[in-house]
Structure formats: C-alpha cells, structure tokens
Structure 1
C-alpha cells in the first residue's frame, strides 16, 4: 500500500514539473510587436513587426477620415489598423462606412494580408459595428481582427462577439482618466482583476496588448483639462510641489511642455511600470488558454523603455 502511495505521489510530482516546464517554454517562445499610432510614418529602418494606424475615423458634424502619411515606405507584412470612434458607429450606417473605408484603403500603394479594426463599441452601436465588420470582411476577403476590451469579455453575452478571425485584448485604459481619484488610468491590475471572468468561454482567440507609455493628466478644481503624453516623473522636479503618490501641484504659472499651466493646477502622473506589466502578463497567462504567443506593445516610440525580452521571460 505504501509503495502504491509513493508511486502515485511521484507521478503527481512529475505531472506538476511537466506543467511548469510547458508554461516556461510558452513564455520563452513569446514574440513581441508594436503599435505605431502617429499620423505620419517616418521610420527609415525597422526590424520590428508593426501594427500601423492608417485611418483615424470620427464623426462631428460630418464623417471625418484622417489618413496616415507614409513619408517612408512601411515594412513588409505590417498590419494596418483603422481606428473608429464609437460615435461614428452610432451615427454612420455600416454600408456607407464600408464604402468610405474601402476607398481610403485603395488610395494607398502598400499591400497587406490582414486588417485590424479598433473600436470600443457600445450596446447602442453593436449591431451597426458588427454589420460593418461582416461587410468589410466580405469585400476585402482578408484576415480581419478587432480590438477587445476587458469588459467585453466579462459581459460578452451582452456586448456580443465580433465576427472576426481573432481579437486583440487591450489590457490598458481600463479606468476613467477624467476621475480625479483614479489611481492609474493606464494600467491598474486591481481594476483588471475585477474583469477577469469568462476567458474560458470567450470564443475568440486572443493576442495581448500592453502599454509602454506614461502621461500626466491636468486637473483644475478636480476637473480634467488636458493630457500630456510622454512625461516622466522628473518633469515635475521644478515649479511643482509633490503631493500624495503621483500627484503634483503647480507652484507658479508657466509653460509646461509647450502649454500654459496655472498656479494651483494639479497633475496626476501615470506610468506603465515594469512590475505592473509583469503582473498583467502573468494574469493573462493564467486566465487565457485560447491565445497567441504574441504581445503587442503600445507604442514603438517607447520600445527602449525596458528590456522587453527579459520582461516577457519574467526575468
């Protein structure tokens, strides 16, 4: 009896070691790529896989489409991305929008095998957006992907699942940036954990997108005024008073990053910290089995912020 118990214990131990080994191998086989989110493309030498925003679509009094200017030829096998506001999807009919998008894409000289759509759809725009994706897929006859938010997985029965080839989970911007009391609107793993449900049921295979950028949010009387992307904490060493964690008060009116700020304004500095990125990566691996071994970082401007190979290996 004792011998059988030891054999069983040994078998369980081997199984656990095998699981740990496979998990480690999966992490080590991860590849990374980048978003390019500028309105002009100027990178002369690039070896990275890129997801390049090519169209920026919004609706104010009319449909507005901003095309990315390619001053330099884009790399081969890049994936063009179209950003569409939810207001556009609530206002413009799917068939009309598809025609506009196809015309804009046809004006480019580059070739592509896959297209990605970035739209944070709502319940009011869901039907039109999903119709748009189906029409676009039919007309292009190419691989089509769509960005997905955490809440769209937790509540997927309500929000719906787009008819695309795969989803790219945007694991950032998960809390309201305009709330004065928000801790970190870029990446807050405490908030993210509240949405880590239904990954085992979600039908789309997922890639993961993580942030690399930092920013400062300007407040006046606790009302949001402006966002300064690319700031670093040392930008607040002069003419600012450090308050609680991440908050700084303007001591005298001056130009900050080319914009005039007033005495008494409050800035909240937010960053995508290495430790937070590690936690986000580990959490995603725990909850998602139906995934690709690719992480897309936003954006390539900050590619040298961390050693990304070490980060993905968990070192």
Structure 2
C-alpha cells in the first residue's frame, strides 16, 4: 500500500511539473514581404497554420484617414501558412470620429485588405486583426468601428490587448470581439531614463496582469517578444533606437563596457548605420529564454490553453531561439 501511495505521489509531482506545449507562430511586421532561408525554415516549423501579417497602418493626416506603409511583396515570400491580415490604427485616428467616418474607415480598410490579398495572391482566411492602443477617450468609437468592420467584411474581427487595457479594464472597456491577443511586451517606454528593460520587465507584467483570470474575454492568445534593440543616449540625455542590436554588438574596441548590456563610445564614428559621438551611451535590450519561460509559466496559471505568437519573424531574432 505504501508503495502504491509513493508511486501515486511521484506521478502527481510529475504531472504538476510537466511543461505545457503551446502551439506557436509569428507576427510578420515588415513593409516588404520577403523571406530568407532561415525565416522560411523557422516559419515552416511553426506548429500553427497562420502567419499574422501587417498589411498597413492607418493614421489621420490633415483630418483625413491615410493608409501608411502599405505592404509590397517580393517573390521570395512563399508560404503555406494562412495569412491573417493585421492593421495597426493609431489612437489619435480614433479621436472625435463621426459615425460616417467609422463607416468609411471600415469599408476602406476591408477594401484595401482585399485588394492587397488579391494583388499578391495571399491565402487569407476568415480573420482580420486590428491593433490599436485605444484609451478611455477613444474606446466607444473604437468599439463601434470593430463592430462595423465585422458587418462590412463578414469576417471574424479580433484585436490586440495591451497590458494597461487589462489592468484598467473598467476605464478602457472590453472590446466587442470573441478573441484577443495579449501583447506581453512594451512594459515601459524605451525613451525614458530607466534601469529596467523597456521591452519586457517580468515583474511589471505580472503586476499588470495580476487579475487576468477575471478578464471577461476568455479566448486569449499570447504575443511574446523576441526582438531586441539598442537605446542610444546623447550628451543631452536624448534617446533614439537602433533596431536588432544584441549584447555581442557591444564587443568593440571603440566602446568601454559599463555593464553587461551597456557601453560608452570612446571614438566618433559610424556604428550600426548611424554616426555616433564619443561619450554617447548604448544600452542593449534583448529578451532571454528564461524571461519568456517565466512569462509563459505565469500565464498558464491565469488563462486556459493559449497559442503563442512571437513578435517578430526576422532572421536577426529567430536564430538560436528555442520555439
């Protein structure tokens, strides 16, 4: 009897410690649709048959809606994945928008998505994803827009969900969709002086999502960051970003290491495509596998089974990653 109890205890412990396997895929966020060999290989290995592809942004310029950075396509962009059109809308574009403008915007976005899908022979399905950092001041009109886009397109409309929109759900409201994509990154601004990692600070994320299990929409997928950048600080404490830097880029005889992820430039010159002066500082922000696993383990306690969408598909970010 004792042996049976012991074996049961071992089985129980093993069951509790077993790592969940999550289906995964990627966001594709470049204006020119183009895949190199590494990106093609990684995408083929992704366990979910979708690729979330940004088609264009929408902003309001001079009082008129404008599509920005509309996609083009290179012949190298070949995939069997179903393309999920994703559109980013700036929050200011939703300010003081009229009912007529909501209808116009929904029809225009649906039309341009269809046009680009047909022009580039992209295999799209029944979903359109909208990405907008809506606020308490724009929520009502944004939600009306989501409903109108659903009516116009006849498709399932999904949207992204930022951390503050979970924490402050009473102010920002609950979007009228059946599925949301939780963006587990951008925990602070990279342009503010801080010792925290602005892409992902796990403690900040856990604080914002402490009540995630109470969020009314239960169909939640998870977007995780695999991108990196360098934050350049000049003599006036002004900042700019250089994409895709990693700590190995700090190994330069013209740099003086300040810490594992920071260095000070010792000689004027061109670095990473920009002219940087002596005395400028570089802080690299990248995400470790341990950080991602910490977030995944935390979320597993909060929400049902979820798919992971890594941001973003780029050979600079997918090399040497475990998916």
TM-score by length of 1: 0.85
Where do residues 2-17 of structure 1 align in structure 2 (5 Å cutoff)?
17=11
**Which SS does the other structure have where 2:130 is aligned?**
strand
Higher mean Cα deviation, 67-76 or 137-146?
Answer: 67-76
In the other structure, the counterpart of 2:245 is 231
Where do residues 51-62 of structure 1 align in structure 2 (5 Å cutoff)?
51-61=52-62, 62=64
Superposed CA deviations along residues 279-308 of structure 1, whole A, max 9, x for unmatched, are 11111112223x43x111011112233121
CA distance in 1: counterparts of 2:9 and 2:94, whole angstroms: 49
In the other structure, the counterpart of 1:63 is 65
**Contact 1:153-1:197 within 8 A present in 2 as well:** no
CA distance in 1: counterparts of 2:149 and 2:189, whole angstroms: 31
**Contact 1:249-1:267 within 8 A present in 2 as well:** yes
TM-score by length of 2: 0.83
Residue 33 (structure 1) aligned to one of 25, 48, 69 = 25
Q: Which runs of 5+ in 2 are unaligned?
A: none
Deviation at 1:245, TM superposition (A): 4.7
Q: Residues 263 and 75 from structure 1, CA distance in 2 versus in 1: closer, same or farther, beyond 3 angstroms? A: same
Higher mean Cα deviation, 131-140 or 92-101?
Answer: 92-101
Superposed CA deviations along residues 238-287 of structure 1, whole A, max 9, x for unmatched, are 22211245222121221111111122212211001111111111111122
* 1:146 is aligned to 2:159: yes
CA distance in 2: counterparts of 1:89 and 1:182, whole angstroms: 33
Deviation at 1:222, TM superposition (A): 6.0
**Which SS does the other structure have where 2:214 is aligned?**
coil
* 1:210 is aligned to 2:224: yes
Instruction: Give the number of equivalent residue pairs.
Output: 297
Q: Residues 224 and 119 from structure 1, CA distance in 2 versus in 1: closer, same or farther, beyond 3 angstroms? A: farther
In the other structure, the counterpart of 2:199 is 186
Alignment RMSD, CA only? Answer: 2.6
CA distance in 2: counterparts of 1:152 and 1:303, whole angstroms: 29
**Contact 2:191-2:240 within 8 A present in 1 as well:** no
Q: Which runs of 5+ in 1 are unaligned?
A: 309-315
Deviation at 1:99, TM superposition (A): 2.3
Superposed CA deviations along residues 140-192 of structure 1, whole A, max 9, x for unmatched, are 12122111112211221221111112011110111121111141011111111
CA distance in 1: counterparts of 2:282 and 2:247, whole angstroms: 11
CA distance in 2: counterparts of 1:22 and 1:191, whole angstroms: 26
**Contact 1:53-1:80 within 8 A present in 2 as well:** yes
CA distance in 2: counterparts of 1:203 and 1:99, whole angstroms: 29
**Which SS does the other structure have where 1:183 is aligned?**
coil
Residue 15 (structure 2) aligned to one of 21, 41, 44 = 21
Residue 265 (structure 1) aligned to one of 277, 280, 283 = 280
In the other structure, the counterpart of 1:79 is 84
**Contact 2:51-2:81 within 8 A present in 1 as well:** no
